[in-house]
């Protein structure tokens, strides 16, 4: 059974061109880029090239790119750096729908005496900038707001948020893990001080990320040790992964327009068809500006985990809008923050596309999913009521 992979916000296939670019740096060109000899020097040249490729995707300068192990490390580095730089400032601002890489850290810091403000969102997952304006003050060390939500795809007004933060002297960071490679980014005249990205979200391997650090923004490293990354991130460079990330960013830049046009058309078709074929369904964040590849759709009075299991039997890979995979039956914190009704939140499924998806993938989901929802509603008391009175 060939899989239909529609869970690309969780992770992506490594592009074969990316793999071929990194492959020689495992067994052939395995030198340490920090070494003085020619064998290490040729690896350093490829690391420098990768740094330029990542910077080009953001329209940044190469020296503004710090390689990390993942998006989580980049997020943690940004927030902890700001707090070390301004030890007299004890206030952090973020949102209720951040990725756990930010939200868990901030909540841990709140237990250590920091004051943490979690901004609300409306029913479409949109941020209220007036609430941010009221929250930021002279005690705010950092404002960390994601660029695009990983569950709904809703895009945030990052530039406006950054301007509000900087007007009060706070550092502004954005977790752009879901946005990089999917929407055009230009940090040249941006209000963004720091930006996190992750390779495995844009067809590079797992285990590589980066942190954009605007030139002139003060910084304290998270990892202390050697001189790597200009003293900003100690540890021998994961050269093969870094080279892979560079290639993936180059491909993303070259293919973005075509990819976005194609995946948005597939996403929109799937959305239209499912809303038509399945009564009592709704789009989470459907009225907001979203990533072109993301569809979060809720089916009333069915369980998301049951939908996923039955889709998996058909070879279709998606994700749920509840935390069931982590052992909890609670709806996700994102859907709770949006006020999605409990009966819909439990039946939310996220489909997320990549450039490797096809129209045939969409047709298969359109064919297989409506009977699955009907089947599950037939065995649910509330679902039977919906079927009887559509």
Catalytic site positions: 324
Of 191, 162, 148, 164, residue with least CA distance to 288? 148
Q: Please state, as a whole number, how many other Cβ atoms lie within 10 Å of the Cβ of residue 137.
A: 14
| Helical (H) or strand (E) element with 34 | none
Question: Kindly report the CA angle at 233 between 139 and 167, in degrees rounded to 5?
Answer: 25
| Helical (H) or strand (E) element with 352 | strand 348-352
Distance CA 236, CA 226 (A): 8
Structure letter (DSSP) for residue 388: H
Task: Answer yes or no: are the C-beta atoms of 161 and 143 closer than 8 Å.
Answer: yes
Of 97, 330, 79, residue with least CA distance to 220? 79
Q: Please state, as a whole number, how many other Cβ atoms lie within 10 Å of the Cβ of residue 214.
A: 19
Distances (CA, A) of 350 to 62, 167, 171, 193, 195: 35, 37, 32, 31, 25
Question: Between β-strands 115-119 and 91-95, what pairing exists: parallel, antiparallel or unpaired?
Answer: parallel
Of 324, 291, 333, 279, residue with least CA distance to 305? 324
| Helical (H) or strand (E) element with 47 | helix 38-58
Give percent helix, percent strand, percent coil of the chain, each to the nearest 5. 45, 15, 40
Q: Tell me if residue 89 falls in helix, strand or coil.
A: coil
């Amino acid at each position: 059974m060939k899989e239909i992979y529609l869970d690309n916000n969780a992770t992506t296939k490594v592009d074969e061109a990316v793999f071929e670019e990194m492959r020689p740096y495992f067994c052939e060109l395995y030198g340490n880029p920090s070494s003085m000899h020619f064998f290490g020097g040729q690896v350093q040249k490829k690391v420098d090239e990768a740094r330029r490729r990542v910077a080009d995707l953001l329209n940044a300068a190469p020296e503004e790119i710090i390689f990390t192990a993942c998006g989580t490390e980049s997020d943690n580095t940004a927030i902890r750096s700001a707090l070390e730089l301004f030890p007299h400032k004890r206030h952090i601002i973020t949102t209720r729908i951040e990725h756990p890489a930010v939200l868990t850290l901030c909540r841990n810091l709140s237990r250590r005496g920091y004051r943490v403000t979690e901004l609300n969102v409306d029913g479409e997952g949109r941020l209220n900038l007036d609430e941010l304006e009221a929250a930021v003050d002279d005690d705010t060390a950092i404002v960390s707001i994601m660029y695009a939500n990983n569950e709904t795809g809703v895009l945030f007004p990052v530039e406006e948020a950054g301007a509000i933060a900087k007007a009060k002297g706070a550092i502004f960071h954005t977790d752009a893990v879901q946005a990089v490679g999917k929407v055009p980014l230009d940090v040249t005249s941006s209000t963004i001080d720091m930006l996190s990205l992750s390779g495995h979200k844009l067809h590079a391997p797992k285990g590589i990320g980066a942190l954009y650090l605007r030139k002139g923004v003060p910084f304290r490293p998270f990892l202390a040790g050697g001189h790597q990354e200009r003293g900003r991130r100690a540890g021998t460079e994961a050269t093969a992964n870094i080279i892979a990330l560079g290639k993936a960013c180059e491909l993303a830049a070259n293919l973005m327009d075509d990819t976005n046009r194609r995946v948005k058309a597939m996403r929109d078709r799937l959305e239209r068809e499912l809303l038509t074929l399945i009564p009592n369904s709704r789009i989470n964040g459907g009225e907001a500006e979203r990533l072109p590849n993301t569809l979060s759709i809720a089916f009333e009075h069915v369980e998301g985990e049951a939908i996923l299991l039955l889709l998996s039997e058909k070879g279709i890979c998606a994700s749920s809008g509840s935390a069931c995979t982590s052992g909890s039956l609670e709806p996700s914190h994102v859907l709770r923050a949006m006020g999605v009704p409990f009966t819909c939140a439990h039946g939310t499924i996220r489909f997320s596309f990549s450039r490797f998806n096809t129209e045939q993938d969409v047709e298969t989901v359109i064919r297989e999913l409506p009977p699955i929802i009907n089947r599950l509603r037939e065995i649910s008391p509330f679902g039977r009521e919906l079927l009887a009175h559509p």
